[in-house]
Structure formats: structure tokens, C-alpha cells
Structure 1
Amino acid sequence: MADSGSKTEKATPKKRKDERKKGHAYSSKDIVNVASILVLYTLLKIMFPFSYSRLSIFVEKYMGYASSVDSITDAFSFQILVDCIWAFVYIALPISLISILVAVVATGFQTKFLFSMESLKPKFNRMNPIEGFKRLLSLKSFVEVVKGSIKIAIICVIIYNFFKSRIYNFSQSPFMDISQSAAYLLESVVDLVYRISIIFVFVAGLDYLYQRWDYEKQIKMSKHEVKEEYKQLEGDPKIKGKIKEQQRKFAMSRMMQEVPTADVVIKNPTHFAVALRYDIEKDRAPVVVAKGQDEMALRIIKVAESNGVDVVENKPLARAIFSSSELNMEIPAAYYAAVAEILAVIYGMKNKRG
């Protein structure tokens, strides 16, 4: 029982496949977050001229309405709604869609694009307060707290140093042209994000290694589980042994039925026995129809004698053919001459007996 409870064995391929069917796979959220943030702010920087132009047109249009429109009608309200939707489509929608796509791809690469309906099913055990308390006190929760604290500390240090180096430039931004000021602020924010992301790439790599280690630990199996899985895949060894025993008995039974068809049995004298058949019209050389050792050899000799098959004692030849020949196969060419002499004597004796 102690052996069945200790999970010390690596997960088998079947175990891993079953876990994937349940929707279980390891991935680092930090990798997804870093990739999404880098792409998001890079797109903001690239698309800033276009986005600024579209936003300026939108603002100027409705700032002009402030002095010319006396009342807001239903049609005017609908026009405002349409313009807001189009502004969102031009400015925010492409960036949002690409960011979502990056998050999906980053997660997919880690999980090999795993999708399982099992993960969508409600898990009522998560509503158990005792289980929730255990999760709070688990090693994984402790690691997440430590990781979060390190992230906050890194972000605070980077932001402090960043603003310290640019405090003068920020103080001058109100005196710049609005487009220049916005471009400078966006460039500063993107630069800050890049600085933070460079550090977080390293953190995300460590988190990925930890998630993989934790996943491998969770899916480990006990020796008892490995044995049970082997039984399910390969069948119970006891049952397989019985099947093999039955097959062996059946093969032996068929072999013994072939002994009466043999022309000669060569023995040594009780340890080995080989039954040979030679049909000059069908066989190119003598064929081994039965062979056995010890008890099986005695059975072959007994069946041969009871069916009138000649039994010849030749110790070296019997042992040599037994070792080098398979059932229902021709004997090696090296023994043709020796077997031919024996068969010639037997055929001669049969001719004399008429």
C-alpha cells in the first residue's frame, strides 16, 4: 500500500495522452503576457500617425458641432454612434485583434494547440472551501506570491529610474505642439514597456521551466498505477501466460499429429528427437515435422514407434539438426549426406519387407 501511494515514476505516454484529453497541459501566463504587451505597444508606436490622424478628424468634427448644433435629434445621435463605431474599427480593433491572436498563438505553442471540452465542464470540487484553503497553502501559491512580489519590485525600480532620467523632458512637454507631445509621451511609454519586457522575458523563461516541472510532478505515477496501466494495455500477465501455455499445447498437439507422417525419427537417444519427412515429389530436401527435448523427445519416439515410423539413433546428427532447424523447414544442406544415408537404409529395409 505504501508503494501504491508514492508517486515516483514518470508519466507514461498513455497517462500524458489522457491528461491532454482532460485539457491538462502546462503553460506560462508570463510568456503570453510579455508577448501580448510587446506586440501591443509596438503596434501602437507603428500605427500612431494613422491613429492620431483619424482621432484628430473625429475630434475636430464634433468640436465643430459644439458651436453649430442647437439640438440633438435621434438621427444625430445615431450618426454619433456610427462615427464612434468606425473610429473604434479604424483605431482600436486592428490592435485588439492582433493582440488576441498573439495571445492565442503564444498559448498554443506551449500547449501544442490543445483544445478539450473537458476543461469547459464545471468542477464542483473547486467550490469546496477546504480544497481552496489547501490550494492557498500549496507550494504553487507560494511561488506565485514570490513571483508577483519580484515583478512588482522590478517594475517599481525600472519606473523610478526611467522617470528620474526623463523628468526634465516631461516637464517641457506642455510647451510642445500637441502632436509632438503625444508622440513623445507614447515613445516614452513604449520605451518603458520595452525595458520592463526585457527583464520579464527572463522571468517568463524561469516561470515556464517551473510550470513544466510542476506539471511533471503532478502527473507522476506510482509503481502500482504503472502496473495497472500495463495490465490494461497488454493484458494481465497471468492471463497472457495461460494463453501462451494453451497456444504452446496446441502447437505441440499439432506437431505430434505430424509424427506418423514422418519417414524417420533420429534420436540421441532420449535427450533429443527429430522427425523428418521426405516427399521426393514435393520436397527439395527432408523437412522437420517434429522435434523435442527430454520428455517431448520421449513422446515423439513413442508416437513414432506406435505408428511404425523407423527410429534411428545418431547422437551428433540428432543434436545438430535439433539446434539448427525449425519446424516445417528443410534441414541445412550440411546434413543432406548423413540423412540421405539413413533414408537409403530405411528405404532398403522397407523394400525387403515388401
Structure 2
Amino acid sequence: MPYLKLHLQYFAADEKTEKATPKKREDTRKKGQVPKSQDVNTGFLLIMVFGGLYLFGGQIQEAMMAMYEKSFTEYIHWNVSEEHVFTLFLELTIEMAKALAPIMGVAMVAGIASNLLQVGIMFTGEPLKFDLKKMDPIKGAKKIFSARALVELVKSLLKITMISVITYAIIWVNKGQMMMTSQKSVEAALAFFARITILMGLASGLALLLLSVLDYLYQRYDHEKNIRMSKKDLKDEHKNMEGDPLIKSKIKEKQRQMSASRMMNEVPGADVVITNPTHYAIAIKYDEAKSDAPFVVAKGVDFVAQKIKEVAKANDIIMVENRPLARALYQHSEMDQPIDEQFYKAVAEVLAYVYRLEKKV
């Protein structure tokens, strides 16, 4: 039974039940693992591109007509040669680029904006690194039959259904005008089909954008689920952030040694050392230029107290035994800080006694 209980505790500690820490979130973000819906990009791109076609369609039509006219008024009379063919393709490519530049610019802005809205500014090359684990057929099979794959299948079917219904509805509503295009001019017929195409594109983009809200919420949920941490992970992370306890203890010991060494260097400049007499030692100095009140330059108990007294004796610093005052000063005073107001009278009496002794000497 004890073994079984220990075994269950081990698995409980390793279960991913805790929310990810800020450090874990930052680490996963550096790896390119962020909640993101591709449908947001697609929907936003469709709306912006078809909106751009609606705004710049007239300019594109004029540019295309100009190329068409020039082809049948100028290019048709050219001799077929290497130079003429090169010039023809170069000029047509430049004119085509000019005509489509606004749409391409809108598409680029839409792609960048939709990604910024979801993940913000992020640069990482981690997803591009070659990883043999990605080629593991067992993991690949698990992904195919996973809950995420099922969600993606349902989402794809829903998108196809929505776009099909929207497209069919628009065509059905405009079927009468569509049947009458044979009676219209070529320009009017093209304008009608262009208008219908833009309408279908905008409606499909809006539908995808609405669907992408649900998809983004699911992606966030799935991302949070995947980056959950176990209690063991939290302890390991805390240990890594805090450092090895052995190293920490060595650092603290080194800091104590440095502090003690600095204190010992200050003792020779003290005016008096107040002792317990065996357990406590507090070195006091009064310097009007530095502070209006006396301040502590060194303090310690036991071994450190003995060292303070040894340094004081070696430098002819007067030591005064006052057990209550020594204990109180140690507990309520800080290094290089003025003593508390409640000790002014007692310390003043000690300093006055020291100054009288020094005058006698």
C-alpha cells in the first residue's frame, strides 16, 4: 500500500494541471508556439482584396483596355524578332504590375495586419529548424486521429458549406439579371459579373471572419491546454530561476564574509563599542557632518561580536558594557543608519562618558 500511494503521488505530481507561468509562455512564444487562427488571415485577406477590387476596379479595367488596344494597334505591326518579343513582354509586365500594384499592396497590408492582431510582433526561426521528430509516423498517425484533427475536419466542412450557401444564394437572387446578360453589351455584362464576383467575395470573407472568432477562441483554449504545467514542472522552473541551493548558500556566505570584512574596517573609526559583554557588540560613531544622530558602523553576535571587540581593543576603542542597550541596539538598528530616537538619551550618556575618559587620557 505505501508503494501504491507513493506511485499515485508521483503521477499526480506529473499531471499537467497548472496554468503556464509567464516564463513558460515566453519560452513557447520564442519557439513560435502561439494561439493563431488561419481563418482570421483568410477572412481578413478576402475582405481587403475584394474591397480593393471594388475601389480600384475602374483603374484596373482602364489599364487592361489600354494594353488590349495597344496590342492590336501597335504590337501587331511589329516584326517577330528577339528584340521585339523581349520589349513586348517587358512593357506588358510593367503595365500589368502597375495595374495590380494596389491590390497586391492591400493583400500585403491585410496579411501583416491580421497576424499582428493575433500574435503581435514576433521574430523566430524555431519553426523552420529541421526536426526528425516531425517525421515520426507514429506521432503523425496520432495527429490524424486526434481531437484537434476532428475539429479541423468539422471546421473545413463548415467553411465549405457556408461559402457554398452564400455563393448559391447570391447567384439565385441575381439569376434573372444573369439570364439577361446575353441582351446586354459586353462592357455591361462584364461589369455585372464583376459586381457579383466582388459581392460573393466580400460575403464569403465576412462569413469566414465571423467563423474565425470561434476558431481563434478554440485555438487559445487548445494552446492553453498544451502549455499547462505539472507541479513538478513548476518546482523545476522555480529551482532553475532561483539557482542551485548549494551555490546560493555559497553566495550568501561570501556576502556575509564581505559584509563582516567591511564592518571590521569601520570599527577602528568608531567612538565606542557597546557590549553585552559576551554575546553582543555594537560599534557606534557620531559624526555631525554625516548625520545629526549617532549611527551604527558594525554590529554582531557571538563570533562576530568577539571579532569586533578584538579589533576595537587593537585600535584602543573604548568598550562600554551595557547589556540591555547592546541587545536593543542590535535588534532595532541597521548598519550605516542613525540609531532610533528612543536610544538617543542612553547612547548620549555613553558617548559623554567616553569623551570624559578621552579627555582624562
Match of 2:80 in 1: 73
CA gap of 1:165–1:305, structure 2 versus 1, over 3 A, is: closer
TM-score (norm 1): 0.79
Q: Aligned partner of 2:155: which letter?
A: K
C-alpha distance in structure 2 between counterparts of 1:303 and 1:118, whole Å: 62
Aligned partner of residue 217 in structure 1, secondary structure: helix
Q: Aligned partner of 1:165: which letter?
A: V
C-alpha distance in structure 2 between counterparts of 1:60 and 1:280, whole Å: 98
Identify the match of residue 244 of structure 1 among 228, 243, 252. Answer: 252
C-alpha distance in structure 2 between counterparts of 1:267 and 1:223, whole Å: 49
C-alpha distance in structure 2 between counterparts of 1:351 and 1:53, whole Å: 108
CA deviations 1:224-280 (Å, max 9, x no partner) are 334434444432233213321343355346646766876555456777654435589
Q: Aligned partner of 2:59: which letter?
A: F
Given that 1:28 and 1:204 are in contact with CA atoms closer than 8 Å, whether structure 2 keeps it comes out as yes
CA gap of 1:343–1:126, structure 2 versus 1, over 3 A, is: closer
1:118 matched to 2:126? The reply is yes
Query: Residues 183-202 of structure 1: matches in 2 within 5 Å?
Result: 183-202=191-210
1:158 Cα deviation after fit: 1.9
How big is the alpha-carbon RMSD for the aligned residues of Structure 1 and Structure 2?
3.9
1:32 matched to 2:41? The reply is yes
1:189 Cα deviation after fit: 1.7
1:100 Cα deviation after fit: 3.1
Match of 1:182 in 2: 190
Query: Residues 72-111 of structure 1: matches in 2 within 5 Å?
Result: 73-74=80-81, 77-78=85-86, 80-82=88-90, 84-111=92-119
Given that 2:274 and 2:320 are in contact with CA atoms closer than 8 Å, whether structure 1 keeps it comes out as yes
C-alpha distance in structure 2 between counterparts of 1:150 and 1:280, whole Å: 83
Which deviates more, 169-178 or 191-200? 191-200
C-alpha distance in structure 2 between counterparts of 1:194 and 1:218, whole Å: 35
CA deviations 1:37-74 (Å, max 9, x no partner) are 112112222222232233334445556799x87x9723
C-alpha distance in structure 2 between counterparts of 1:173 and 1:239, whole Å: 84
Q: Which runs of 5+ in 1 are unaligned?
A: none
CA deviations 1:306-347 (Å, max 9, x no partner) are 7785443353x4444334322344434553433333344456
Given that 1:262 and 1:275 are in contact with CA atoms closer than 8 Å, whether structure 2 keeps it comes out as yes
Q: Which runs of 5+ in 2 are unaligned?
A: 1-9
Aligned partner of residue 25 in structure 1, secondary structure: coil
1:83 Cα deviation after fit: 5.2
Query: Residues 296-335 of structure 1: matches in 2 within 5 Å?
Result: 299=306, 309-313=318-322, 315=324, 317-335=325-343
1:143 Cα deviation after fit: 1.5
C-alpha distance in structure 1 between counterparts of 2:339 and 2:66, whole Å: 98
Count of residue pairs the alignment pairs up:
349
CA gap of 1:282–1:50, structure 2 versus 1, over 3 A, is: closer
1:49 matched to 2:53? The reply is no
CA deviations 1:88-118 (Å, max 9, x no partner) are 2243344234313421332244332323233
Given that 1:259 and 1:300 are in contact with CA atoms closer than 8 Å, whether structure 2 keeps it comes out as no
Given that 1:3 and 1:224 are in contact with CA atoms closer than 8 Å, whether structure 2 keeps it comes out as no
C-alpha distance in structure 2 between counterparts of 1:42 and 1:278, whole Å: 80
Q: Aligned partner of 1:325: which letter?
A: S
C-alpha distance in structure 2 between counterparts of 1:79 and 1:280, whole Å: 92
Given that 2:264 and 2:311 are in contact with CA atoms closer than 8 Å, whether structure 1 keeps it comes out as no
Match of 1:173 in 2: 181
CA gap of 1:261–1:124, structure 2 versus 1, over 3 A, is: closer
CA gap of 1:283–1:216, structure 2 versus 1, over 3 A, is: closer
Aligned partner of residue 291 in structure 1, secondary structure: strand
Match of 1:146 in 2: 154
Which deviates more, 336-345 or 263-272? 263-272
1:216 matched to 2:224? The reply is yes
Q: Aligned partner of 1:157: which letter?
A: V
Match of 1:203 in 2: 211
1:180 Cα deviation after fit: 1.2
Aligned partner of residue 221 in structure 1, secondary structure: coil
CA gap of 1:288–1:57, structure 2 versus 1, over 3 A, is: closer
CA gap of 1:266–1:37, structure 2 versus 1, over 3 A, is: same
CA gap of 1:330–1:126, structure 2 versus 1, over 3 A, is: closer
C-alpha distance in structure 2 between counterparts of 1:346 and 1:52, whole Å: 103
CA gap of 1:96–1:348, structure 2 versus 1, over 3 A, is: closer
C-alpha distance in structure 1 between counterparts of 2:290 and 2:88, whole Å: 99
TM-score (norm 2): 0.77
Given that 1:305 and 1:311 are in contact with CA atoms closer than 8 Å, whether structure 2 keeps it comes out as no
Aligned partner of residue 153 in structure 2, secondary structure: helix
What is the percentage of aligned positions where both structures have the same residue? 35
1:151 Cα deviation after fit: 1.0
1:172 Cα deviation after fit: 0.8
